[in-house]
Amino acid sequence: MRNRKSEIRNPKSEIRRPDLSVNFAGIKLKNPVMTASGTFGYGEEFADIIDLNRLGGVIVKGISLKPIKGNPPPRIWETPSGMLNAIGLENPGVDVFLREKLPFLGNYDTAVLVNIFGYSLEEYVGVAERLDGVPGVSGLEVNISCPNVKAGGIVFGTNLKAAFELLSAVRNATRLPVIAKLSPNVTDITEFAKVARDAGCNGLSLINTLLGMAIDIRSRKPRLANCTGGLSGPAIRPVAVRMVWQAAKAVDLPIIGMGGIMTHEDALEFILAGASAVAVGTANFVNPRATVDIIDGIEAFLAQEGFGSIRELVGQVRMA
């Protein structure tokens, strides 16, 4: 007897689902939603809560050449609509990452971008070289918001010359797509976007956290042991959307937009401003399912508004 089920037409299957896929600097993403570095560990930490296969990509926590212990506590302080953190880029170093962290993500069908950093140009280059040609790594996101201890602590990401030299050196050290993660702690973000382009980077990621500080008025001590920390969350979103919009107009590079994305509406703001993909950070602490909720929300929005692909919306903010 023939299976009657196969003869029943399913009206739902005839509705075309919007295409969420994005080719970001040669990296194929099934949808534009990734996890922001440092807020999603190495993926394993969230694997019991969400299906990692649903993510466009995982941008892992920052990796350096050698292990780093991080800052003493307190390292996190909640602020109005945001969070200050001074974790101090704690991580096990690139060798342990390759041996113990990366293989887990290989079990999933999602792009893996490795966020790298260092305290000298040579350290950045060393990590980039270690990751070159490693199966399962789709690209490098270079966190340039670090001080160069060999050059008096000048922050790579806030000095045009230092940023150019660093990004050029990393570009020459790997065959992987190189995405420059820009610091928002600058006067003109477009100058740094242009430096990344001139150094041969394949994409931009912005924004990293804004430098902030909070003080306990009774003890008169800073809330963070490190005194200052990086501000993230909804408090920084309008700044981030503005910077993505300015960078997208200044250079012809694809952008991963981030900064305070909590909902699919927030993510779509970044896409209209010019981002081809987005990353979700602080929201993961509030709602560990935020990424999948955002993916579902984007898909539903596109279907409701009659768009066939997310790509139709990139940079489509109307100016008049």
Ligand X SMILES: Cc1cc2nc3c(=O)[nH]c(=O)nc-3n(C[C@H](O)[C@H](O)[C@H](O)COP(=O)(O)O)c2cc1C
Is 201 a catalytic site residue?
A: no
- At position 52, the amino acid (one-letter code) is L
**Identity of the residue, 31 or 183, whose beta carbon is nearer to ligand X in the bound complex:** 183
> With CB under 6 A as the contact rule, which of the stretches 35-43, 102-110, 160-168, 216-224 interacts with ligand X?
35-43
State the Cα–Cα distance between residues 146 and 148, nearest whole angstrom.
7
3-state secondary structure the chain: CCCHHHHCCCHHHHCCCCECCEEECCEEECCCEEECCCCCCCCHHHCCCCCHHHCCEEEEEEECCCCECCCCCCCEEEECCEEEECCCCCECCHHHHHHHHHHHHCCCCCEEEEEECCCCHHHHHHHHHHHCCCCCCCEEEEECCCEEHHHCCEEHHHCHHHHHHHHHHHHHHCCCCEEEECCCCCCCHHHHHHHHHHCCCCEEEECCCEEEECEECCCCEECCCCCEEEEECHHHHHHHHHHHHHHHHHCCCCEEECCCCCCHHHHHHHHHHCCCEEEECCHHHHCCCHHHHHHHHHHHHHHHHCCCEHHHHCCCCCCC
Binding status of residue 258 toward ligand X by CB under 6 A = yes
> With CB under 6 A as the contact rule, which of the stretches 99-107, 230-238, 242-250, 291-299 interacts with ligand X?
230-238
Give the nearest distance from C-beta 122 to ligand X in angstroms: 19
Give the nearest distance from C-beta 74 to ligand X in angstroms: 13
Binding status of residue 282 toward ligand X by CB under 6 A = yes
First to last CA, the chain: 63
Residue with the CB atom nearest ligand X in the bound state: 38
> With CB under 6 A as the contact rule, which of the stretches 25-33, 85-93, 161-169, 170-178 interacts with ligand X?
85-93
Per CB under 6 A, the list member of 68, 86, 87, 170 interacting with ligand X is 87
Rg (CA), the chain: 20
Per CB under 6 A, the list member of 34, 58, 89, 295 interacting with ligand X is 89
Give the nearest distance from C-beta 40 to ligand X in angstroms: 9
Binding status of residue 64 toward ligand X by CB under 6 A = no
Enumerate the β-bridge partners of residue 222: 215
Q: Check residue 41 and give left, alpha or beta (phi > 0: left; psi -120 to 50: alpha).
A: left
Exactly one of 52, 68, 83, 146 is catalytic; name it: 146
Enumerate the β-bridge partners of residue 234: none
If one counts every other C-beta atom within 10 angstroms of the C-beta of residue 16, the result is: 8
Binding status of residue 291 toward ligand X by CB under 6 A = no
**Identity of the residue, 18 or 257, whose beta carbon is nearer to ligand X in the bound complex:** 257
Give the nearest distance from C-beta 115 to ligand X in angstroms: 5
Binding status of residue 62 toward ligand X by CB under 6 A = yes
**Identity of the residue, 70 or 136, whose beta carbon is nearer to ligand X in the bound complex:** 70
**Identity of the residue, 37 or 276, whose beta carbon is nearer to ligand X in the bound complex:** 37
Per CB under 6 A, the list member of 181, 197, 223, 264 interacting with ligand X is 181
> With CB under 6 A as the contact rule, which of the stretches 161-169, 185-193, 217-225, 277-285 interacts with ligand X?
277-285
Site for ligand X in 110-129 (CB under 6 A): 115
Per CB under 6 A, the list member of 36, 178, 189, 310 interacting with ligand X is 36
> With CB under 6 A as the contact rule, which of the stretches 34-42, 130-138, 269-277, 287-295 interacts with ligand X?
34-42
Which positions touch ligand X (CB under 6 A)? 36-39, 61-62, 83, 85, 87, 89, 115, 143, 181, 208-209, 232-233, 236, 258-261, 280-283
User: Which sequence positions are flagged as catalytic?
Assistant: 146
